[in-house]
Amino acid sequence: MYRTLAANRDVLAYETYFNNSEANNVHSSLLNPNENPNGAAAYASLW
């Protein structure tokens, strides 16, 4: 994702992230609660 956004920064205005931790959903939360600590750390290190 980072490479995609970086490569297209001239035509992209912003990034949207849905921090979802609801049951029976994608559990993509990176913060409060952090359900994906490795992903959260990688995301934080790139940005």
- The amino acid that residue 12 corresponds to is L
Residues ≥6 apart with Cβ < 8 Å to 18:
28
Q: Domain residues for 22?
A: 2-46
Of 23, 16, 13, residue with least CA distance to 1: 16
Can you give the pLDDT at residue 1? 81
What's this model's pTM, rounded to 2 decimal places?
A: 0.59
Can you give the pLDDT at residue 11? 97
Per-residue pLDDT of the chain (47 residues; tens, 9 = 90+): 889 999 999 999 988 877 777 888 877 787 788 888 898 898 889 87
Question: Is the preceding peptide bond at 33 cis, omega within 30 degrees of 0?
Answer: yes
Domain tally for the chain?
Answer: 1
Can you give the pLDDT at residue 45? 93
Q: In degrees, to the nearest 5, what angle opens at C-alpha 26 toward C-alphas 21 and 31?
A: 35
